[in-house]
A and B are shown apart, each in its own frame.
Chain A
Amino acid sequence: MAEPILRIRNLHARVGETEILRGVNLDVYPGQLHAIMGPNGSGKSTLAAVLAGREDYEVTEGEVLFDGKNLLEMDPEERAREGLFLAFQYPVEIPGVSTATFLKTALNELRKHRGQEPLDAMEFMNLMRERAALVKIDPTFFSRSVNEGFSGGEKKRNEIFQLAMLEPRLAILDETDSGLDIDALKIVADGVNALRSPARAFLVITHYQRLLNYIVPDVVHVLYRGRIIKTGPKELALELEAKGYEWVTETDEVAL
């Protein structure tokens, strides 16, 4: 089997005095889509934030390799340039910066990192139009400030649009389904499915199984109290839906 895109070993992280991740282990291989599920407060979003390099979290132990490189040593922008993308649970608004300008800057930073020439205005516009269609984003959004005045659903679609533009090696979706109605959920799922490829991996963090009806995972993990306590095939998500998290967490208490 190929080398994993992401290898997490015994990852511990805390905010202030509170330890949130308590020994996470995970291997994600090219082409795979892993779902991370778990009850509120289990550490799902913390895992996403730590991988993206958010400074509020202190890693106290463990190792993360991204395509074999030490991820934890990199600045957030370096991680992004190496191909790590986070679709935010709460995308921020950036006043005065159009989506087009923002994405052009981001894409050209990534291209520079890869030793490629920046895209010219024409190539860039064509790429934007093509990728926007994937998530049914209207081209009038391009000239609007990033996320400013967008509805919750528009913001989430914009995250997937950015994912499509930046073509990451590893895409982490942090509760992208939260706050979406069923139509928006389908659009987002169609976008993600179109972007799945043998060279790319996804880490989909979700509280509900609902999203996984549309984005079918290769592997499902249950994160609980900062540890992955159960791993299984896609059917695990359905089982969790039917039986609730207590079904695994109770077993876990015994195992602990």
Chain B
Amino acid sequence: MSEHVDILDQLTASDYEYKYGFESQIEEEVVPPGLNEETIRLISEKKGEPEWMLQWRLQAFRYWQTMKEPHWANVRYTPIDYQAISYYAAPKRKTQPRSLDEVDPELRRTFEKLGIPLHEQEVLAGVAVDAVLDSVSVATTFREKLQSLGIIFCSMSEAIREYPDLVRKYLGSVVPPNDNFFAALNSAVFSDGSFCYVPPGVRCPIELSTYFRINARNTGQFERTLIIADEGAYVSYLEGCTAPMRDENQLHAAVVELVALAGAEIKYSTVQNWYPGDREGRGGIYNFVTKRGICLGESSKISWTQVETGSAITWKYPSVILKGDNSVGEFYSVAVTNHRQQADTGTKMTHIGRNTRSRIVSKGISAGYSQNSYRGLVRVNPSADGARNFSQCDSLLIGDKCGAHTFPYIEVHNPTAIVEHEATTSKIGEDILFYCNQRGIDTETAVALIINGYAREVLSKLPMEFAVEAQKLLAISLEGSVG
């Protein structure tokens, strides 16, 4: 029997070769570590924000001071010293670039190493890229085309300056500043992020995309994203993430808010590949994110799709508030953990409107010594006549040292609701691998085959070019698990 275990140890022990572990040599402007009202005033000032924004941040900071870091998630980590983090870092440059040619060549090379040649993407992929390196947006493409349709797609900083009415109306309307500890922190110190508004009846013709990348040492990254689809509008937004190798744990606490008005649809897709730490669990990103959408109007739809392979610790529950009658919320997730990674992720579907429907498909994959938890809440309020939910939560274990956990919470306060939950657990043991080997399939190919088959239902929800990338990413993350 010991040899069984040995083989699986070997499979899961080889070093994770983090492909994106490099640091770009761009001069950065970093605010000294520490957090107080002065820090917030400094951030707001550096960004040239109006007074109302500063007051909004300060209010959030005061909430945050009264709050405690949550510890109900099934994750363990060393305490975070919030005073040791620097809350602002921006690449220094003299003037705002007007085109890609004006972008810092070093920065361009960084993107190219990541496989994001902006000019090629413009032409070939039809993707407008709003590239965020650390905290400031440095390049936005496809502006004019989007503008001709009335679509606003820009950095959050710019939106605060140029579209204050929209920002004031919706910022914090889905995730209020006092929603939770990390959301309050983000609201106080958020650096930048993306803003998108699609006007009534407009179907955004291209996939909107942002690449976030954490670059400066010890700099907490606090992105703020707000997407609004007005009545009958449609938008698909892609978020992809990679980060360079680090020894220190880095805190990432983003907030994403989605607002869908009547008949609108928002698709939000994420591929998250931040540094997960080494095989002993040293280093790696702490990813404590609040993502929430509201189906505000009748017959609106919000769909979250995520492929999570990175981060040392993930605490993330993209959720939908189904307020409008006949609105639809979806959550499709593949979460991979390997080595010492810990993930506690899932979703919340809150049914308020009549005949609201939600669908949850969660696929957890655990390897090495990792812990992977699904945590989900389906709540049907008394008003939600005819609400329906279907949840499918599957866990796949590779080896016998990892853990998979499922915490489904169901609260139904309306007798007409139908809520279904299915869960399965399977294991890739030595028997399956030997069976594949005996058919001429090596272990690595076998695991990739099984993982892709297992995650197919979720991957198929991603836009085509993203699905290919995600499939590669799954194989790369598990290269570490199958030597």
Residues of A at the B interface (CB closer than 8 Å) are: 52-56, 75-77, 79-81, 85-86, 88, 91-92, 94-98, 101-103, 105-106, 109-110, 113, 145, 162, 166
Contacts and interface: CB of A to CB of B under 8 A. Distances in A.
B437 A106 contact: no
B121 to A, nearest CB: 30
Nearest to A90: B431
Contacts of B7: 55
B453 A97 contact: yes
Interface in B427-455: 430-432, 434-443, 445, 449-450, 453-455
Contacts of B396: 95
A101 B437 CA distance: 15
Given A95-B450, A98-B453, A106 B439 contact: yes
Interface residues on B, range: 20 to 34
A109 B450 contact: no
Contact of A109 (B434, B445, B453, B454): B445
Which 7 A-B pairs rank lowest in CB-CB distance, beginning with the nearest? A96-B453, A96-B454, A76-B437, A80-B440, A106-B439, A97-B453, A109-B440
Contacts of B454: 95-96
Contacts of A103: 439
A53 B449 contact: no
B450 A81 contact: no
A77 B444 CA distance: 11
Contacts of A162: 439
7 contacts: A77-B438, A92-B431, A92-B435, A94-B435, A96-B454, A106-B440, A145-B453
Interface of B, secondary structure class, is: helix
A101 B438 CA distance: 16
A80 B449 contact: no
B3 interface: yes
B431 A77 contact: no
B440 A97 contact: no
A102 B191 CA distance: 48
Given A56-B3, A56-B4, A95-B454, A105 B449 contact: yes
Contacts of B25: none
Contacts of A92: 431-432, 435
Given A92-B435, A106-B439, A113-B440, 7 more contacts: A54-B434, A91-B435, A94-B435, A97-B450, A102-B439, A109-B441, A109-B442
Contact of A80 (B431, B432, B439, B450): B439
A101 B449 contact: yes
Contacts of B4: 55-56
A169 B414 CA distance: 65
B453 A77 contact: no
Contacts of A56: 1, 3-4
A88 B437 CA distance: 13
Nearest to B453: A96
B99 to A, nearest CB: 44
A105 B445 contact: yes
Given A55-B3, A96-B453, A105-B445, A166 B435 contact: no
B456 interface: yes
Nearest to B427: A95
Contacts of A91: 435
A102 B445 CA distance: 11
Tell which of B426, B430, B441 has the most Cβ of chain A within 10 Å: B441
Contacts of B442: 75, 77, 109
